[in-house]
Amino acid sequence: MAPDGNSTPAATTPLTADSALAHAARLLQNAELVTDHSLMQRLESIADSWIAIARTIAERERD
């Protein structure tokens, strides 16, 4: 959040399926380095969300 309590503006670059998959890959690489099992599961869950976002974007681009 910004210092005045308002949320920060959205990113200026559009989200693509490739960028969403890159986020997922980064999270999975980090999960491999973590020894805390619950944190590893959380990172994998977030990566799954990015993969779902990538799938949705790819489907929209096909239509």
29 in Cβ contact with 38 (< 8 Å): no
pLDDT for residue 62 is more than 50 = yes
Question: From the centroid of its chain, how far is CA 16?
Answer: 11
Domain boundaries, the chain: 17-62
Cα(21)–Cα(25) distance, integer angstroms: 6
- pLDDT grade for 48, boundaries at 50, 70 and 90: very high
- pLDDT grade for 1, boundaries at 50, 70 and 90: very low
40 in Cβ contact with 31 (< 8 Å): yes
